[in-house]
Structure formats: C-alpha cells, structure tokens
Amino acid sequence: RGADLAVLDCSFSSRSPGACHMHAEQCGKVAHEAGISTLVLSHFYLVADRSNVVRQAAKHFPGRILKAKDLMRLRV
C-alpha cells in the first residue's frame, strides 16, 4: 500500500480476459485499492489486444498509467 510504483501482470485486455492472469480493469482496481502513484501494465501476450489497456485500467485508477516496454527504465 502507498507505493510510488507498481508493475502489474496485465496479460489481457478487459474484453478478452484470461483464466489465470489479470486483465486491465482488474489492474486498475488493484492499483486504486493499494493507493499507488504510478501503475505500469506489464506481461502482455503477443496475441493479446493491447490497444486500449491504459484506458481500461483508467476506469478504476486515476493515477499515472504506463504500458511496459522491453528494457524500459523508470526513475523512482
């Protein structure tokens, strides 16, 4: 709770959730409940639609939301 940054497993969009991984809206809910400042959505499957994941997470989380990229660096 109250962390500056959380990197969450967001393997799928909310439109096509998987059985064992969180989807974008779930990530937004977890981030909001945890009171974090910045949410980084990560662990995307190649076949998953990633086009709207930030918008979907923002339905439940008002803070900064980023889509992770390979070799991405963030200053905390």
Reading the chain (76 residues) residue by residue, the pLDDT tens digits are: 889 999 999 876 666 666 677 889 999 999 999 999 999 999 877 666 677 899 999 999 999 999 999 999 998 8
The answer to whether the CB of 23 falls within 8 A of the CB of 10 is yes
pTM of the model: 0.85
Q: What is the pLDDT of residue 18?
A: 63
Residue ranges with strand state E in the chain:
5-9, 38-42, 64-67
List residues bridging with 23 in a β-sheet: 12
Q: What is the pLDDT of residue 15?
A: 66
Q: How far apart are CA 4 and CA 38, in angstroms?
A: 6
Please give the DSSP secondary-structure letter assigned to residue 2.
-
Q: What is the pLDDT of residue 16?
A: 64
Q: What is the pLDDT of residue 22?
A: 85
Those residues whose C-beta lies under 8 Å from the C-beta of residue 65, and which sit 6 or more positions away, are 28, 38, 39, 40, 41, 54, 57, 58
Domain range summary for the chain, segments of one domain joined by + = 5-67
